[in-house]
Structures are given as C-alpha cells and as structure tokens.
Structure 1
Amino acid sequence: MTHAAQVDTGAVLADGTRESSRPPLSRAMIAVGFLLIVLSYMVNAMDRQVFPPLLPSIREEYGFSLEQGGLLATNFTLGMALAGLPAGYLLDRFRRKTVLLVSIVLYSLGTMATPLAVGFADMTLYRVVSGFGEGMQSAAIFAAMGAYFAHRRGLAFGIIGLGYSVGVFIAPLIGVELMSMHGTWHSPFYLFGTAGLLIAAASVFLVRSGLTERSVEQAVTTGTTEHMPASAYNRNSLALAVHAVVSGVAIYGFLGLYPTFLITSLHYSAEQAALAMSFLGFGGMLAIFGGWLGDRVNQRTLLILSLLAVSAISVGIYETHAGVGVQCVFAFLMGAFGLGFIYPNTNSALQRAVRPSQIGRASGLFVTSYYGPAAFSGLLFAALVDSFGWSRAGLLQVTLLPLIGVAALTFVRPAQFSSAVR
C-alpha cells in the first residue's frame, strides 16, 4: 500500500485549508492514526454485539416479549440509518475528523445510558441514539479511509472490518463474563462506553487531519471518469443499495436473535451461546482477505457467491439442530461470508460506483441502505418465529431473502466502476 499511503500535498481540505500547508505524515503517524480508527470501530462493534447474548437476561428483568426483545436487538440500526444520509451531506462539507470524534462520543454515551432505562420506550431511545452515533462514525471512517487508500480501498476496508470482527468476537465473551462476575448485565455497557470515550480523547491528538481529510479528487489518479455516470444515484449504486437492504435484513435478523435461538430452541447455556456468537466474529476476521480479494476480482461475482453461501449456511444452522462444535463452525462460516466478504465489498463497491467527489454520499447511502431496514429485522424475525417456528423463519429470512440480493446484483455493471476489476 505504499503508493496509496503517500500524502497528497495538493489536496484541498474540507475546512478550506490546503494540505500543502501541513507537514507530510510519517509512516508511524499514519499507522497510529489508522490503528486508533480501527480500534474505535472495534468498540463500535462491541457496543452493538454485547446486547444479543445478554438479551435473555434483559427480557427477564423487564418482562419484554420476544418481539420487543428482537426489536431492541436490532433497532440501533434505525439510528444508523437516520444518520447515513445526513452524515454523507456533512462529510462532503465539513471536516471528517470532527464528524468522527462527535460520533464516537455520541454512541458511547448512548451505550452507557442503556442500563439506566426504566422500560421499553427509553431503552429504545438509548439504542437508537447509540446507533445514530455508530452510523455517523461508519460513514466518516469509510469516507475518510476510502479517499486516503483509494487504490487499496477494499484492503483498507477489510482491515477495518477485521477490527469490527474482533469486537464481535470478544464482546459476547466479555459481556457474559462480566454479567456472571457482577451478577448484572449492566457492567459491560459501562465498560464499553468508557472505552469509546477514551479512544475519542486519544484520537483528538493522534489521528491527524492529513489522514482523514485527503481530497478524493486528488486521491484517485487512475485516469478519466467519463465512463462513470454523472449522478451518485445511478444504476450501479441503486442496485447495490437494494442488495445492501436485503443483506442488512438477513444478516442482522440473524445476528440479533441467534443467541436467543441457541438458548430457547437448542437449549444451550448462556456461555455456549456466547461462544457460538464469538465464532461469528472469528469468521468475520476474514474481512482482511475478503477486502483484499475484492480489489482483485469482479466484485459483483464475489458478492453473488457470498450471498449464496449465506443462504446455504443458514440451512445448516436452522435445520440440522447441530451440537455446539458444529454450530460454532456454521457461525464461523456465517461470519466469514456475511461480515468478512459481503460487508466490506458492498461498501467499497458503492464507493467505486460513484465519482470521486461523491464518495461521502456513497458512504451515507451504504449506511442508510444497509442499516435502515435492518432496524426492524429482529422484529420481523421474531414475528416469523411466532408464526412458523425457528426453522421456517430462518428459511424465509436468512435462506430465501438473500436470493433477492442476488437478483439485484445482476443489474450491476462493473465496467462502470472506478479502479475496479471489470
């Protein structure tokens, strides 16, 4: 990534200053800043994924129904969706670092407020607020890193996805362990929220503007963009947005109620369910490979194959009633394709589907499309479970639904992408 890591001294920053007025970033500062960004996204994932394994205890304490629990497990994505398009607008007009720092503080405070809830309504509010901050952060991170590492965008997104997957891996284990130690599910939320605030404070000094504010026009030097549509909302970006909607509903519906399925249907202990949930994150660590591969092969084909893999794996999860060991293998594979391949490549493909100056809007479109309908995916899955049982609900939402995403991807024309294998 050496040529992608060089600082463009002629780039114009969002605040109107020129990058040429700043000293070039050293490799060490690039590495430190990028590491903090990855760590902040890891905490983002921990805040999101600590909730599902603790949901049975939360439902017991508050008396929530399965539908209410399913909605709470995924409704933070409503906040992310609400943040997506406004964040894209802000990122095209203000400093990305400012948006990034504000977002980390916001989702951390929302996470810390969750245990203070007195009922369903205010817990919903805290979850949505947390999701709003997480959505802003996602848009800011991927817009900034998509510009800085324009020639290795898929790999950079894969590394960020690796950080996310580490968060998914450790959050259930830490959350359940802390709940067992302290006798309450509250402590993980306070711990993870505090970690986010500390990372935000460190980022003020260690994440330099030269890393976050690079001009996308100067970053992309692959030649003409005349082959690309003029509008950010073109055939490719809209088809990818439909695919993102389908993927978000299928994957987050699965993530939100997977521990509940293991505990209530397969009669796993909370610790066994947390272990299986962690294997999802373990599989998601393949995002670094999935992103690297997306820079080298046709991304449409890669996404289609990944969606088909998710459909096949869900059959094994909901139809075989496997033991803990086999279930962990299924969870690993679901994480590998759902988090490691689909997530980073959908994100980077959307940025490649628009012109460089529209990268902020592409990032916002991804966040809104992927996380908006996903806010209700847990509620939908719970309703399907109540009506048809776990097996048929899994068949409908996690096996058949991704096939609609496959159909949407057939409308994508990679030849119109920027810096992509066609």
Structure 2
Amino acid sequence: MTHAAQADTHTVPADGTQESNRVPISKGMIGVGFLLVVLSYMVNAMDRQVFPPLLPDIRQDYGFSLEQGGLLATNFTLGMALAGLPAGYLLDRFRRKTVLLVSIVVYSLGTMATPLAVGFADMTVYRVISGFGEGMQSAAIFAALGAFFTHRRGLAFGVIGVGYSTGVFIAPLIGVRLMNLHGTWHAPFYLFGTAGLLIAAASLFLVKAGLTEHAVEKAVSTRTYEYMPASAYNRNTIALAVHSVVSGVAIYGFLGLYPTYLITSLHYTAGQAALAMSLLGFGGMTAALGGWLGDRVNQRTLLIGSLLAVSAIAGCIYETHAGVAVQCAFAFFMGAFGLGFIYPNTNSAMQRAVRPEQIGRASGLFVTSYYGTAAFSGLLFATLVESFGWSRAGLLQVTFLPLVGVVALVFVRPSLFNNADR
C-alpha cells in the first residue's frame, strides 16, 4: 500500500486552537520545540528504565521477593493505562501544551519520590504516580505531533521513538554508574527527576502553541471520510488494541526482568546486564526507520513481521544461554523490532484507524491498551519463572504470546485507514 500522506489531517482541540494555528511559527522554533519534546520523552524513558537494572539492589535493600520486584518493575504502566483514556478526552478539548507540561512535572516528582519509599506499598504508589504522568505525556505528545506532522506521522513518531530508545540506552549505564559512584541506588532517581523538571521549565517558554495546538486543515474538496466507521472504537481500533495489549505484556514483561534474568540465571555482572539493556535501547533507535517504513508500506504486514521477529528472538534469548556478545546482539534486535518497529507503527496505525477529529481518543486508547495489562506483566513473568523456570517462562510470555497479536492483526483492514488511497 502506498502512503497517501495527503489523506491525513489534523485534530481540533476545542479550546480555540484554530486561532493559535494562525500564529506563525518559524522553522527554527519548530526545531527547538520538537527537540525539547523529544528530550522530554527521552527523560520519560530514563525514568522508566532505570528501575530494572537497579532492581537486584532494591530487592536486597527492602527484602522484596521476585514477584514483588517484578510487579514494581512494570506497575508504573498501570498509571499510564489509567491516564490514557482521560488524557485522550482532555486532549480533544483543552490545550495540549498544558497537558504536556503538567504530565512532565507529575512523572518527575513521582520518580524523585521513589527512593523515599519505606516499603512495598508506598513505592508502588510512587511508581504508579510516575506512570500516570508518563501516560499523560505520551498521549499529549502523539496527539500534538500526530496533528502537526500529518504528512509524515509515522516518521515523526519514529524520531520520537529514537528519543525514547536513547533514554533506554543511557539510563542503565548512567544508573549503575551513579549507584556505584555514590554507593546507593537513590542517586539516579533524583538526577532524572530533576532533569524532567528542568525540561518542563524550558518547554514552558520554548515549545510554542503553533507546534502543539495544530488545528484541522481543510482537506481537498473531494476528500471525505464517510467510508470510515463513525465511532473511534471500531473493528480496526479494537483489533489494534488487542495487539497492543499482547505486545505490552510480552515486551514489558521482558524489559522488566531481563537484567534480573541475566544476573541470576546467566550470572552476568551488574555492568554486563546494564550493557545488554543499553544495547536493547540502542536497537530501539531504529524507530526512525520503522516509522519511515510505516508511512510507505502496509502497516499491518509490517507489524505482523515485527511480532514474528520478536517471538523468534525471544526464543533465542531464553533457549541458547548465549555469551555476553551474542546476548547483546539479541538484545539489540529485540529493541529494534519491539521498540523501533512495533511501538511507533501501532501508535500511528491507531490514529489512522479513526477519523481525523478523533485522534486524541485514538492516542488515549493506544496508551491504555498498550500499558494497561503491561502493569502486571512483570508479576506474571515472575510467577511463571517461579513455577517453570526462566526458559519456559520466556517461551510462554515472550515467544508464544506475540503470536496472539499476529492473529488479532489479521482482522485489521488498512483500506479503512484515514490515509488509504480512495
């Protein structure tokens, strides 16, 4: 399928953003604003992914079980899921920039509060609060930039994904280094939380409304969307949501306990596990390529191929017990397909499955479906490990589960997307 870029149009928040759309914004300010948004999403990823490589030390300090550690490693996604649909509703009605700035402050404060926890219960609360802010930010970013970069939505989401993957890449390295330098795992949480607050302050002045509040453009006179379902919750979005649920459980279960698997099962050092985790983030930097391809080929086919690749790579990770170099290569390819291809294309496909004025709700649905059950993916994985061991647990959750997503994607009809050739 060729990409009909001209067929995408922008969304209209109801708070007068059409007026803001008339305010000219220079290319320089577009670049500065876009860079700050990408940097904020990078810090979002750093806040999320600094926890897993530090989990063995956190468990030792608090005496958490593997199940408790697995739940803490991924339960921030519960906050993201809770934020998704409300954020989608708000984004269709209020200023996206306001939602974006508030969300950065919320997740930064939640991150900084994590080391203050006295036990499992309040650490869970802090992680969920952080995830709530991250979910709001995700919905705000993808709704705002999905509207502004309508002709290259997949590529724009891919570049944002590069920012996220950069955070995944550097967070384990910085986190473990700071822990070793200061003798405590607390330091990275304070550093990353402070970085988020500084970016929010800079964004207040440098991210202009002309970038975030883009309004609906007039489509060509012959262009209508009567061929699309009237509801934002239609066959395509439901099938994509099922795929999102499956992908979230498989990928986040893997991310949450991958360093623990390397350290406890393969006896890697904390530094070696951090290196493998960083290579996973490095692989995710292929998101720009994944998004670019999503603008040009059949996204359903691209997503099916990516899920099959994740399934095959997971089989290699949990069955071959490879050495450090080969394991890092597996991690790179897992990041490439799981973060670089599946994430941006699922997100953009969800927006293309609805009429242009509904992309805020589509963005919220993606966040909720992708991150909702992912909140318990670490607990599920840890429970499977306790019952069956690492190899069989990996096969069940990260190898076989993506195949369910493949079945769901069979029901997607790209001919009903809002960028389909008509």
TM range (shorter): over 0.9
Where structure 1 has 5 or more consecutive residues not aligned to the other structure, the ranges are: none
Residue correspondence of structure 1 range 265-414 to structure 2 within 5 A: 265-414=265-414
SS in 1 for 2:152: helix
User: TM-score, normalised to structure 2's length?
Assistant: 0.96
Question: CA deviation digits over 1:162-206, x for unaligned, max 9?
Answer: 000000000000000000000000000000000000000000000
Change (3 A) 1:21 1:147: closer
Greater RCO, 1 or 2 (C-alpha within 8 Å, sep 6+) = 2
What do residues 261-313 of structure 1 show as CA deviations (whole Å, max 9, x unaligned)?
00000000000000000001000000000000000000000000000000000
Report the Cα offset of residue 258 of structure 1.
0.0
Paired position in structure 2 for 1:202? 202
Shift of 1:322: 0.3
Cα 1:21/1:370, change in 2 over 3 Å: closer
Task: Note the C-alpha offset of 1:226.
Answer: 1.6
DSSP 3-state at the match of 1:34? helix
**Structure 2: any 5+ residue segments left out of the alignment?**
none
Aligned to 2:212: 212
Contact 1:165–1:285 (Cα < 8 Å) also in 2 = yes
Summarize the Cα distance change of 1:170–1:21 in structure 2 as closer, same or farther, 3 Å threshold.
closer
Return the offset for 1:224: 1.8
CA 1:177–1:239: 2 relative to 1, 3 Å: same
Aligned to 2:232: 232
Amino acid at match of 1:56: P
Question: Residues 96-111 of structure 1: matches in 2 within 5 Å?
Answer: 96-111=96-111
Percent of aligned positions with the same letter in both sequences?
A: 83
Paired letter, 2:320: T
Deviations 1:329-380 (A, max 9, x none): 0000000000000000000000000000100000000000000000000000
Amino acid in structure 2 at the alignment position of 1:384: L
Q: Is 1:153 aligned with 2:116?
A: no
User: Measured at CA, do residues 379 and 335 of structure 1 come closer, stay the same or move farther in structure 2, by a change above 3 Å?
Assistant: same
CA shift in 2, pair 1:335/1:89, >3 Å: same
How far apart are residue 15 of structure 1 and its match? 2.2
8 Å CA contact 2:18, 2:214 repeated in 1? no
Matched residue, 1:241: 241
Separation of aligned partners in 1, 2:17 and 2:255: 43
Contact 2:11 2:356 in 1 (8 A): no
For residues 192 and 219 of structure 2, the distance between their equivalents in structure 1, rounded to whole angstroms, comes to 36
1:84 CA drift (Å): 0.2
Question: Secondary structure at 1:272's aligned position in 2?
Answer: helix
Letter in 2 for 1:281: G
- The answer to whether the Cα contact below 8 Å between 2:11 and 2:360 also exists between their aligned partners in 1 is no
> Residues 11, 85 of structure 1: CA spacing in aligned structure 2 closer, same or farther, 3 A cutoff?
closer
Distance in 1 (alpha carbons) for counterparts of 2:258 and 2:100: 30
Please report how far the alpha carbon of residue 219 of structure 1 lies from its aligned counterpart in structure 2 after TM superposition: 7.2
SS in 1 for 2:106: helix
CA–CA separation in structure 2 for the residues paired with 1:109 and 1:52: 19
**Aligned CA distance change for structure 1 residues 412 and 17 (closer, same or farther; 3 Å):** closer
Instruction: Give yes or no for contact 2:114–2:127 (8 Å, CA) kept in 1.
Output: yes
Cα distance, 1:18 vs. partner? 3.7
Name the CA distance, whole Å, in 2 between partners of 1:387 and 1:103. 38
CA displacement at 1:36 relative to structure 2: 0.3
Q: Which SS does the other structure have where 2:217 is aligned?
A: helix
After TM superposition, the score normalised by the length of structure 1 is 0.96
The residue that corresponds to 1:133 in the other structure is 133
> What root-mean-square deviation, in Å, do the aligned CA atoms of Structure 1 and Structure 2 show?
1.7
User: Aligned residues, how many?
Assistant: 415
Q: In structure 2, how many angstroms separate the alpha carbons of the residues matched to 1:285 and 1:219?
A: 34
Look up the SS of the partner of 2:223 in the other structure. Answer: coil
State whether residues 152 and 295 of structure 1, in contact with CA within 8 Å, keep that contact through their aligned partners in structure 2. yes
Cα distance in 1 for residues equivalent to 2:233 and 2:227 = 15
> For residues 20 and 257 of structure 2, what CA distance do their matches in structure 1 show?
50
Asked if 1:65 is matched to 2:43, the reply is no
Cα deviation, residue 20, structure 1: 6.3
The residue identity in structure 1 corresponding to 2:94 is F
Change in 2 beyond 3 A, CA 1:320/1:220: farther
Please list the CA deviations of residues 68-100 of structure 1 after superposition, one character each: whole Å capped at 9, or x if unmatched: 000000000000000000000100111000000
Correspondence for 2:124: 124
